[in-house]
Amino acid sequence: MLREVVATRYVEPLRSGGSVPGVVEADDLGTYVVKFTGSAQGRKALVAEVIVGELARALGLRFPELVLVHFDPAVADSEPHQEVRDLHTASAGVNLGMDYLPGARDFTPEVAKAFPVDPLEAGRVVWLDALTANVDRTVHSSNLMVWPTLGTVPPRLWLIDHGAALVFHHRWDASDPERSYDLRHHALGQYGPDVRAADAELAPKVTEELLRRVVGAVPDAWLAAEPDFGTPGEARDAYVEHLHARVRASAAWLPTGFPTREELAAEESERAARTQRGRPDWLKRVPDLHGKPAAEQDWSVHLK
């Protein structure tokens, strides 16, 4: 089961994601990134965070500790933005916190150029994402962090943000344990991930017993509203059975054929060129925000 803490101080909202999580201090003196039950993504995103995060940790991958955070909106009554205050009001009660990694850096394409990742480590992460239907760890949005970045301890790769995983739980009636997902543009694809070695190492560890323990960490309240099942217990059984079936069918969905860094760059250049060719002349002056992060755009030429 996840530890439970009580939020004592609201530090700030994080606006990098659509769910607007918040940095919160708690009564155990820890600092956490809290994802709220009232966010637009709903409670299924929190269910995915718990199941995939706890499974990652059980398999030896680096993932920050998760806790259940009892949150009173009054703790954040100084928040100036009404939309964020509304989110807090809708999230009174138990929410999900992830241990805050101070000073961690996003695993951006620029960081990736200078950061070595072993093919087996890359393979383990890709394998986990393929197993859990996580298509949201791409070269443009890695959901990976590099930490620590100071001191004598060498920096390591940490997994974060699995709310978009388990896509099958949005359509249980169409779920297929043998389905493969497009991971060609995975954030670690350029490192030659050894997914076959990862499969041989990790698949035997994902037993029904482990899955029941991992799924058992999800609060009943987050499963009670699941429309496809009558009880939280039935919902837990569905997650366990589906993931266990996927492990046994890994030969059907094991991802291969990742493009190199050079091939990715060529694809991106071609995509940007196609976008420009399809724009009217007046729109060609507008920056392509999908090609580069806004912070990397040269806005001066568009403001003349």
Domain map of the chain by residue range?
A: 3-99, 105-253
Contact 66, 96 (CB under 8 A): yes
Please report, to the nearest 10 degrees, the dihedral formed by the alpha carbons of residues 111, 116, 119, 121 taken in order.
Answer: -80
> How far is residue 69's CA from residue 26's CA, in Å, rounded to a whole number?
8
Predicted local confidence at residue 159, as pLDDT: 98
- The label of the residue with tokens 């950061």 reads 115
Question: Could you tell me the two tokens for 212?
Answer: 């029941």
Distances from the Cα of 222 to the Cα of 96, 172, 226, 236, 267, angstroms: 11, 17, 8, 11, 40
Cβ count near 110 (within 10 Å): 12
**3-state SS, residue 257:** coil
Predicted local confidence at residue 282, as pLDDT: 64
Burial of 183 (0-12, 13-18, 19+ CB in 10 A): buried
Predicted local confidence at residue 286, as pLDDT: 57
Predicted local confidence at residue 284, as pLDDT: 60
Predicted local confidence at residue 288, as pLDDT: 53
Query: Is residue 55 within a helix (H) or strand (E), and if so which, with residue range?
Result: helix 43-58
pLDDT by residue (tens digit) across 156-186?
999 999 999 999 999 999 999 999 999 999 9
Predicted local confidence at residue 299, as pLDDT: 29
Distances from the Cα of 131 to the Cα of 52, 202, 260, angstroms: 10, 11, 23
> How far is residue 37's CA from residue 41's CA, in Å, rounded to a whole number?
8
Burial of 301 (0-12, 13-18, 19+ CB in 10 A): exposed
Contact 202, 127 (CB under 8 A): yes
pLDDT by residue (tens digit) across 76-134?
999 999 999 999 999 999 999 999 999 999 999 899 988 999 999 999 999 999 999 99
> How far is residue 154's CA from residue 84's CA, in Å, rounded to a whole number?
37
The pTM of the full predicted model, rounded to 2 decimals, is 0.88
Rounded average pLDDT per 10-residue block, the chain, 304 residues: 97 86 98 96 96 98 98 96 96 98 94 93 98 95 94 92 96 96 94 97 98 98 88 96 98 91 82 77 58 40 31
